[in-house]
C-alpha cells in the first residue's frame, strides 16, 4: 500500500528528498542552481511530513477541491 501512496504523491506534485518518510509539496519550493552548479532551494528536513500525513493532506485537498465543482 505504501508503494501506491508514494506513486500517488509523486504523480500529484509531492517529493521525498531526504528519505521515504519525509515528504514535501513541490509547489512550495523554489529550485535554482548557484554559480557552483549546485541545486539550491530544498527545504530543511525538519519541515518534511510523514508519508501518511502527506497522503492525507493531498487526499483531503483533492476531496475539498472536487466538492466546489
The confidence score (pLDDT) of residue 69 equals: 43
Number of helices (H), then strands (E), belonging to the chain: the values are 2, 4
Report the pLDDT value the prediction gives residue 24, as an integer from 0 to 100: 94
Under DSSP, the state recorded for 19 is S
Domain with 20, as residue range(s), is 2-67
Phi and psi at residue 41, to the nearest 5°: 120, -5
Q: How many domains does the chain have?
A: 1
Residue 15, CA atoms < 13 Å, CB-side half-sphere? 10
pLDDT of the chain along its 69 residues, tens only? 688 999 999 999 999 989 999 999 988 888 888 899 988 888 889 999 999 999 999 999 876 555 544
pTM comes to 0.72
pLDDT for res 56: 95
Q: How much is the pLDDT for 3?
A: 84
- The rounded distance, in Å, linking the Cα atoms of 64 and 8 is 17
Amino acid at each position: 500500500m505504501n508503494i501506491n501512496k508514494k506513486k500517488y504523491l509523486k504523480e500529484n506534485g509531492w517529493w521525498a528528498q531526504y528519505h521515504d518518510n519525509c515528504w514535501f509539496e513541490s509547489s512550495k519550493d523554489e529550485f535554482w542552481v548557484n554559480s557552483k552548479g549546485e541545486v539550491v532551494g530544498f527545504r530543511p528536513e525538519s519541515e518534511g511530513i510523514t508519508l501518511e500525513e502527506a497522503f492525507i493532506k493531498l487526499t483531503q485537498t483533492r476531496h475539498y477541491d472536487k466538492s466546489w465543482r
